[in-house]
Chains A and B, each alone.
Chain A
Amino acid sequence: RKEVEQDPGPFNVPEGATVAFNCTYSNSASQSFFWYRQDCRKEPKLLMSVYSSGNEDGRFTAQLNRASQYISLLIRDSKLSDSATYLCVVNPGTASKLTFGTGTRLQVML
């Protein structure tokens, strides 16, 4: 089993739709979690950290479920500009052990 798994997609959704991605991780000792966004031929950029109690940033909501070892990202009212690949990142405690998912591609359509 991969350490971090994501559905590669693509998720093709119309503008205004709500879409959710999940990411499962295998290391139960993992301490911090992040969602990164990567545009085509660009570097990944931090979208949001994921906190134990869940957190929201505008149209984006991140959740952590430690018991089932997954994190989720919910995007409400999708915009064309949300089209990108979303990477799940898990940190078991040291930077050198950061583990990246392969990414989920989102395509928002008119």
Chain B
Amino acid sequence: NAGVTQTPKFQVLKTGQSMTLQCAQDMNHEYMSWYRQDPGMGLRLIHYSVGAGITDQGEVPNGYNVSRSTTEDFPLRLLSAAPSQTSVYFCATVGLGNTIYFGEGSWLTVV
């Protein structure tokens, strides 16, 4: 009953470092996405995928890359971390009835 699993839960990066947030789902959902949540701004879409091999940009894609080689996995890469990327990141899938299933979140601090 894993649902959406994302790692790591907490990470501190130095400016300029790169890292990958992992996301895996076991619900066979075609749609997967990454959001960031900042105080007073709600959840904003970074990138999304409608199936293996297909990705597209969301509202705030700059500084992030994604790939979708399998239905299960949708990693998010920070290419060169900046303090503005300090945020909480959620991976999410969408299932029947447009219900959204979120991972537990990744708290990222860039210093």
Contacts and interface: CB of A to CB of B under 8 A. Distances in A.
Contacts of A87: 42-43
B41 A42 contact: no
Interface residues of A, number: 22
Nearest to A49: B97
Contact of B98 (A43, A44, A91, A103): A91
B73 interface: no
A43 B90 contact: yes
Question: In the complex, which range does the number of interface residues on chain B fall in?
Answer: 20 to 34
A96 B42 contact: no
Given A43-B90, A102-B41, A96 B33 contact: yes
B90 to A, nearest CB: 6
B48 A95 contact: yes
B104 interface: yes
Given A49-B97, A95-B98, A43 B103 contact: yes
Given A95-B33, A100-B43, A102-B42, A45 B102 contact: yes
The B contact surface, by secondary structure, is strand
Contacts, number: 54
B105 interface: yes
A69 interface: no
Interface in B17-45: 31, 33, 40-43, 45
A32 B98 contact: yes
Interface string A87-110: 101010001101011110000000
B99 interface: yes
Interface string B41-56: 1110100101000001
Given A43-B90, A103-B42, A98 B100 contact: yes
Contacts of A80: none
Contacts of A42: 104-105
6 contacts: A4-B42, A8-B40, A32-B98, A34-B98, A43-B104, A95-B33
Interface of A: 4, 8, 32, 34, 36, 41-46, 49, 87, 89, 91, 95-96, 98, 100-103
